[in-house]
Amino acid sequence: MANKNGMNSQLLAGGAAGTGRTALETRVAQAQSRLNPSRRRLLRMILETPEDTYYLSSRELAKHYGVDAATIVRTIQVLGYRKFAEFVADLRTHFVTHITPYAVLKAASKEKRTVADRIRHNIELDLRNLQALQSAVDSERITALSKRVKAARRILVVGIDLAASLSWYLAYGLMTLGFAAEAPIGSSGNVQRRVRTLNSSDLLIAISFGQCLRDTVDAALRAKKQGVPTFGITDSETSPIARVCNDSCFASVTSPSFVGSYVAPFSLLGAILTACAHTQTARVLELLRRSEEEDRADHRWYNASKDSTESLE
């Protein structure tokens, strides 16, 4: 859909991805010559503190910066927005790219909610993230990734801090399917040394969101320079991971919780593992059959009648 300046929103998103700017930053940069000094200052303040403003109405935003609502409306119209809701959507995306645990909790604390309301709101956003993933999932891209996984000699899944849970889950699932996958843990040096051993026959999957962690981005950059195919799991086409990797899939982590929401990313990883399992179904079934026999022989699963009796002896 074209805006007043005749620019398609997809082109704007592409421009943002190419420059490292968010869509909102791109619009502001392109409108500089049409903005007077006071409007430039207003937009700069909004861009610098999105956590203070992304949830406000136009009237509340005007009150926050000591201007009238008409000034807000006219300013965003210069940027090419036809509705305030369109501006807020880009402001929220801009906020996500600058997200920190402090910023999230600070923003959430300004909303007037009871603890019970906050709990329900947290789950509502989890569901919204899942719905967004369901409506926008790119099955062809996931299928293409599964073929890369099948062809790879080794697969290194890099996720750090909270994303380590995602990287371990994906690597464990791939190993269960018979692929040579690992999720390195420990120091930055350990991750980078593992990356150095990769070559063009391997695959690196990098997982990070928002501003993205430097160690994860560095791992993807190093792998790419070595000719290693790279794939990103992130939340935006403008994130550093998306800009660095050869290809990416996206899942929102938007949440009022300072730890973010990994419901949609875990669902995305489940979809990837499903695709990988069905690119070589016969081989995977044979591996799982043998694994099941070994589990039975090793008494891996809890047996209520037998184990409770033994514990009493």
* Owner of token pair 């899939």: 249
Nearest to 219 by CA among 179, 251, 188, 250: 188
Give the pLDDT of residue 307.
60
pLDDT score at 6: 33
Whole-number pLDDT of residue 296: 77
Q: SS3 sequence, 36-85?
A: CHHHHHHHHHHHHCHHHCCCCCHHHHHHHCCCCHHHHHHHHHHCCCCCHH
Structural domains of the chain in order of their starting residue, each with its CATH number? 9-113 (no CATH), 134-296 (3.40.50.10490)
pTM over 0.85: no
Per-residue pLDDT of the chain (313 residues), as tens digits, is 333 333 333 323 333 434 457 788 889 999 999 999 999 999 988 888 776 777 788 888 899 899 999 999 999 999 999 988 889 888 877 776 666 666 666 666 666 778 888 788 778 888 888 998 998 899 999 999 999 999 999 999 999 998 999 999 999 999 999 999 999 987 788 899 999 999 999 999 999 998 889 999 999 999 999 999 999 999 888 789 999 999 999 998 877 766 778 999 999 999 999 999 998 888 888 888 888 888 777 777 777 766 655 555 5
Q: What is the pLDDT of residue 181?
A: 97
